[in-house]
């Protein structure tokens, strides 16, 4: 989940027909990256076992097939068949549709080599509209062997890799109870829509050890027994965000925090002409005709992350909110990496901070704050900045920034990469190098949780 995140094909909560108790050690991964709706799927493993999947995740063995040239799965007569060698080879086995359980194969020994990938566990196949989709039915911990190196560099600090393993494990088990793909027959897919999963062929001994070091450990609410939703992203750019500011819905453990440890945020810049911005708005479904865009404004932020982006045109205004702030630019083939950004050459800055008495908080304009020097002299704090050890930025729980309406357009300067909810992977690595263990890292990014 380190791309844009990423993160979720659907926020709908859907409890699958099979219970989470039945799948306590098994998880079902839809291989949608390379093996979704395929006419044919090649298996280069020379000896495979044929069977059906039981409701408890076990394998009901039927027979063993061997072939020096491997196998190919195709559809024939409305049923999945296994052919010897190529897609036009002799049919060696037919999975009859009259049998309810899912058709499965597994290697007689070792890994299953399918296409250019290899996988642990069992492979199930679902037929829809005459095409085949593969589902990897695999032990949870072995699944994480393939997730960890795909989501975090093995060169990261050991404690960061352990934090990543726990976050990925928790996220996966949360999805056992709340599928991202209802009705599909699997809990997660293998892309950044859920968690990136590369199978056994991309495993790394360092990340595998981090999974083993944290075996079974997950993130819970205090006293809770159900694993929490634990999204993560590549780089916060200095702060994370509340879940409701990204996908909607409020969760007490997914609150925005300052990420002062992050040492290597992704720094990026985008420049758009007014014509491009006009095109971006016109491409939005349901957006009104606002004419030619002449101004762009940041209407509000949370911990420096943009929540609303107002496009002002010759015939009106239109506002992009939450993740739409990023996606709107995708229509001109230049999406933003995160919502942690400012405008170059801006005017009209009104910054605020939040002051709390321990019970309630209220918004106070920075212009109302004063600082006192060593001589006891006071001055207004109109340009209050914070320093994270690398760069400084304007303080702002909420701020309004209007672009300069110059003929060249708008330049956006940003930090970070991803949706910004939950754990920052770059931040976790920096925290680890600063001496924090994986439990401390997780408690920093997931508010008020227990790690057990």
End-to-end Cα separation, the chain, in angstroms: 23
Beta bridge partners of 32: none
State residue 118's pLDDT score: 98
d(CA 354, CA 356): 7
pLDDT tens digits, 124-179: 999 999 999 999 999 999 999 999 999 999 999 999 999 999 999 999 999 998 87
For 48, the token pair is 């495979």
The b-or-e profile of 13-50 (16+ CB within 10 A means b, else e) is eeebebebeebeebbbbbbbbebbebeebbbebeebbb
d(CA 71, CA 182): 31
d(CA 177, CA 240): 26
d(CA 277, CA 332): 8
d(CA 177, CA 395): 40
**pLDDT tier at 16, thresholds 50, 70, 90:** very low
Q: What is the rounded average pLDDT of the residues 4-23?
A: 36
Which residue, among 382, 295, 390, has the nearest Cα to 343 in the 3D structure?
Answer: 295
pLDDT at 371 > cutoff 80:
no
d(CA 199, CA 205): 14
pLDDT at 346 > cutoff 60:
no
Contacts of 260 (CB under 8 A, 6+ apart): 238, 388, 389
φ, ψ dihedrals at 250, nearest 5°: -110, 130
Sheet arrangement for strand 59-66 = 59-66, 47-53, 102-107, 122-128, 131-139, 26-30, 188-189
Q: Which residue did the predictor score with more confidence, 357 or 383?
A: 357
228-232, 317-321, 402-406, 407-411: segment of lowest average pLDDT: 402-406
For 277, the token pair is 């911005």
**Cβ atoms of 213 and 162 closer than 8 Å:** yes
> How much of the chain, in percent, has pLDDT values that exceed 70?
81
pLDDT tens digits, 205-235: 999 999 999 999 999 999 999 999 999 999 9
Percentages (nearest 5) of helix, strand, coil residues in the chain: 20, 35, 45
Q: What is the rounded average pLDDT of the residues 244-273?
A: 92
Which residue, among 402, 276, 405, has the nearest Cα to 332 in the 3D structure?
Answer: 276
State residue 374's pLDDT score: 58
CA dihedral for 268, 272, 278, 279, sign (positive or negative): negative
State residue 69's pLDDT score: 97
CA distances, 371 to each of 205, 331, 361, 365, 368 (Å): 53, 45, 20, 14, 10
d(CA 9, CA 112): 28
Contacts of 448 (CB under 8 A, 6+ apart): 221, 222, 252, 253
For 204, the token pair is 């790394």
Contacts of 60 (CB under 8 A, 6+ apart): 51, 52, 53, 54, 101
DSSP E strands in 90-148: the ranges are 91-95, 102-107, 112-114, 117-119, 122-128, 131-139
DSSP state of 406: -
Q: What is the rounded average pLDDT of the residues 195-202?
A: 95
């Amino acid at each position: 989940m380190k791309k844009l995140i990423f993160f979720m094909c659907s926020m709908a909560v859907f409890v699958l027909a099979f219970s989470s108790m039945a799948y306590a050690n098994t998880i079902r991964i839809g291989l949608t990256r390379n093996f979704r709706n395929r006419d044919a799927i090649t298996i280069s493993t020379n000896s495979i076992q044929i069977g059906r999947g039981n409701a408890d995740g076990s394998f009901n063995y039927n027979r063993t097939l061997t072939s020096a040239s491997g196998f190919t799965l195709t559809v024939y007569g409305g049923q999945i068949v296994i052919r010897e060698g190529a897609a036009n080879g002799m049919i060696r086995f037919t999975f009859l549709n009259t049998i309810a359980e899912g058709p499965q194969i597994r290697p007689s020994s070792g890994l299953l080599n399918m296409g250019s990938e290899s996988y642990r566990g069992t492979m199930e196949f679902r037929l829809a509209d005459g095409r085949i989709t593969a589902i990897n039915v695999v032990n949870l911990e072995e699944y994480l062997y393939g997730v960890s190196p795909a989501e975090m560099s093995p060169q990261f600090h050991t404690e960061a890799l352990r934090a990543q393993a726990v976050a990925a494990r928790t996220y996966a088990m949360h999805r056992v109870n709340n599928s991202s793909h209802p009705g599909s027959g699997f809990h997660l897919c293998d892309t950044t829509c859920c968690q990136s999963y590369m199978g056994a062929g991309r495993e790394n001994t360092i990340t595998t050890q981090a999974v083993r070091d944290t075996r079974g450990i997950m993130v819970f609410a205090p006293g809770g027994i159900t694993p929490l939703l634990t999204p993560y992203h590549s780089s916060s750019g200095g702060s994370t965000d509340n879940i409701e500011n990204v996908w909607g819905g409020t969760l007490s453990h997914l609150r925005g925090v300052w990420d002062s440890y992050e040492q290597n945020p992704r720094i990026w810049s985008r420049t758009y002409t007014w014509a491009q911005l006009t095109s971006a708005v016109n491409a939005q479904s349901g957006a009104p005709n606002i004419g030619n865009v002449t101004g762009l404004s940041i209407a509000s932020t949370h911990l420096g992350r943009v929540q609303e982006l107002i496009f002002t045109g010759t015939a009106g205004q239109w506002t992009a909110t939450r993740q739409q702030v990023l996606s709107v630019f995708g229509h001109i083939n230049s999406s933003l990496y995160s919502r942690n950004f400012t405008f170059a050459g801006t005017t009209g800055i009104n910054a605020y901070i939040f002051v709390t008495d321990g019970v309630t908080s209220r918004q106070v304009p920075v212009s109302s704050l004063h600082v006192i020097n060593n001589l006891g002299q006071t001055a207004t704090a109109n340009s209050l900045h914070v320093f994270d050890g690398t760069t400084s930025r304007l303080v702002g729980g909420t701020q309004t920034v209007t672009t300069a309406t110059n003929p060249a357009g708008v330049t956006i300067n940003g930090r970070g990469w991803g949706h910004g909810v939950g754990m920052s992977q770059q931040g976790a690595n920096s925290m680890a190098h600063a001496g924090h263990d994986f439990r401390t890292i997780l408690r920093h990014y997931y508010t008020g949780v227990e790690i057990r």
